[in-house]
Amino acid sequence: MAEVVFDQASRIYTPGAKPAVDKLDLTVTDGELVVLVGPSGSGKSTALRMLAGLEPIDAGSVRIDGRDVVNVPSKDRDIAMVFQNYALYPAKTVRDNMAFPLKMRGMDKAEQAKRVADAAELLGLTEYLDRKPKALSGGQRQRVAMGRAIVREPRVFLMDEPLSNLDAKMRVQTRSQIAQLQNRLAVSTVYVTHDQVEAMTMGDRVAVLRDGQLQQYATPSELYDRPVNAFVAGFIGSPAMNLLDLPRSGDGVLLGGVEIPLSREIRDAVGSAQTVTVGVRPEDVAVDSEGSGAGIKAVVDVVEELGSESYLYAHLIDSDGRDDEATTLVVRGPGRTTVRYGETIAVRVDAGAVHAFDPSSGLRVA
C-alpha cells in the first residue's frame, strides 16, 4: 500500500560516462503494477535495483510513501523482490525459504507458519513445503520465489524478469497468475521485462526505457495508439510498426508512387518539411483484393501463417515498376491467405491510422 516515486534518480557507474539510469522520473501509485520495459542495456534492471537498494542512487532520490530511501538499506525499505533466477536458498526447504524473511524480522513462529501456509495455499505449493528447491520444476521454483515475496506483505513488490527462465507455455500461464495475484493483493509492483508482450499484458502502466532514459510512461493502449517517438512506436507491438521515411507530395506522402493523405493536424505540424517518418502498423495495411490497380504494388518475400492471421513481408515496386528492395512493408492478412512467396500484391494503407514522426528527432509530430 504504497506510492513509489523516482525523482530525477540517476545511476552513474563511471563518472563522466553516460549514466546507466539518467534522471528517471516515475511515479507508481498505490496498488499499481508498473512494467519497466526496454532492450538490454536500457537501464530497466538498474532502475529496479536502485529501488531495491542493490545499486546506489548517485543523484536524485527514490521515495517510498514519501520517505527518501537513498540511504536506507534494502532490508529497511519494506520491499520484496523476485529474482530472474529466483535466488532460492538451495540448502533450505521451500518452507524455510519462504519463512526466511519473516524469521529475519523476528516474527513469532506461529505467525510465520500461518503466513507460509497461507501463501503456499494461494500458490498451490502446500504439498512441496518440505522439498528442497532442486527437487522442484522451474515453474514451482518460480512460485516459491513469489511466495517468499508475498509472505513479507511488503509495501512494494519488485520483479526482475521473473518469467524469463520458464518455457513459452508456462510463461503465458504464470503471466496471468502473477497479474491476478497482484490485483488481489493490491500491492504496488514494479516489474522488469524485455518482453513487450509481457509489458502490454501485465502493466497497468508501462515505462519504456532506452539508454537509461525514460521514453514514455503510459497505459498499454496509450503506448500502442500514441507512441511519443519512433523508438516506442517500433518497440511496442509485434510485428513491429512499419516506419518509413517518405517524401511529401500534395496533401500527403508518396509511397510506391501512391499518395497517402495525411490529416490536417499532421500537415500543420509537419509544416514545410520535405520528408516525414510515417508509421503504419501491419494491421492498418491491407491487401487490396479487388486489385483495382490503384494500390501500392509490392512483392511478397515471406509469408508467416499463424492460423488466426497471417503476416506478409514484402518489398515495394516503385512508380517506375522497379523492385525497391530497400523499402519493406509488413502487412497483416487473413488467417487463410492465398498469397504466396514471390507474388505481386497491391496493398492499401489506412490513412486514418498513420503515425507521423520527425525524421531527425524521431518525435511524434501530432
Using the minimum distance from each CB to another protein, give the nearer residue, 91 or 306.
91
Residue 202 backbone class (left: φ over 0; alpha: ψ -120 to 50; beta: rest) = alpha
Alpha-helical (H) ranges within 189-254 are: 196-202, 220-225, 230-235
Question: Least distance in Å: CB of 49 to another protein?
Answer: 8
Q: Note whether 24 and 10 are within 8 A (CB).
A: yes
* Shortest reach from residue 56's CB to another protein, in Å: 5
Choice between 3 and 96, CB closer to another protein: 96
**Can the peptide bond before residue 239 be classed as cis, meaning omega within 30 degrees of 0?**
yes
Cα radius of gyration rounded to whole Å, the chain: 25
Residue with cell 526482475: 160
Q: Which of 138, 128, 182, 188 is nearest to 164 (CA)?
A: 138
Min separation Cβ 105 and another protein, Å: 6
Indicate the residue among 92 and 315 with the shorter CB distance to another protein.
92
Whichever of 120 and 208 has its CB closer to another protein, that residue is 120
**Which residue, 89 or 341, is less far from another protein as judged by CB?**
89
For residue 115, what are the β-bridge partners?
none
Q: Which is nearer to another protein, 69 or 266 (CB)?
A: 69
Tell me which residues touch another protein (CB under 8 A): 13, 49, 52-57, 70-75, 79-81, 83-87, 89-92, 100-101, 104-105, 134, 148, 152
Residue in 231, 235, 234, 230 with CA at minimum distance from that of residue 198: 235
Compute the least distance from the CB of residue 160 to another protein, in Å: 9
Residues 6+ apart with CB under 8 A from 348: 285, 286, 287, 288, 295, 296
**Least distance to another protein, CB of residue 111, Å:** 16
CA distances from 243 to 195, 215, 230, 240, 255 (A): 20, 18, 8, 9, 12
Give the residue with the Cβ less far from another protein, 148 or 332.
148
Q: Which residues of 134-159 are buried (b: 16+ CB within 10 A; e: fewer)?
A: eebeebbbbbbbbbbbbbbebbbbbb
